Amino acid sequence: MDYPFLDYTFYQLMATGVIAACASVTASSVPCAFSAAVNAIASVHYYLTRQALQTGADSAFETAVQLRYSDWAVTLPLMGIELHLLAEKLDPGYSPSFYPKELSAFALLCVVTLGAIWSFSKRRIIGFLCFAASCILMGSVLLNLLSNIDADRDLFLLFTLPWIGYPVVSIAEATLFRASPGFIAGLYAVLDLWSKAGLALAVSMRA
């Protein structure tokens, strides 16, 4: 079975990652470098997910979930740091009031890694709770940013808004659409294109 939208997502993430990587070199932009890393990892995730789903094996669903958590365990902390770095670039007076970017990244890494471990052991409900906690942490990162930055608030809102959709899709995955891993992967792909590819382009344009 073919999954053309996963192919499209793979190429779009890879292309925007290359654009961000080029911007990181030409403009010496650290946020662009983080964005390029995020998109590179996400591209690998979508390539492997497509390969797994194409086998049609009974284990394809679990493999897709495990790949997704492995992706999040790396990309979420990187995105948390990227957003803080972008805030510092856009607003020289920016200073986080709740906690430093390193602490938020470490917290995200711990929570999502725990989710990945439980997901690999097929304790799906614990993995889901860890993912829900990571969404709350990302929300706190955004609140930390918006409460301390005066420039480009709309930029942060636009590309962090998709995080509302991740827990919604995750709940649907656990209840309504378990038999349709391709459909669920497609929904996550839309969110990733919005939040990761979109943010990479925006960061590159401001490099």
pLDDT at 40: 95
Q: Where are the beta strands (DSSP E) in 139-203?
A: none
Q: Which two tokens stand for residue 59?
A: 């284990």
pLDDT at 23: 92
pTM to 2 decimals? Answer: 0.81
pLDDT at 103: 58
pLDDT at 44: 93
pLDDT at 33: 93
pLDDT at 114: 63
* Euclidean distance between the first and the last CA atom of the chain, given in angstroms as a whole number: 40
Using alpha carbons only, give the angle 125, 102, 121 rounded to the nearest 5 degrees.
20
Report residues of the chain scoring pLDDT below 70.
1, 91-132, 139-141, 143-153, 174-179
Largest Cα separation within the chain, whole Å, is 53
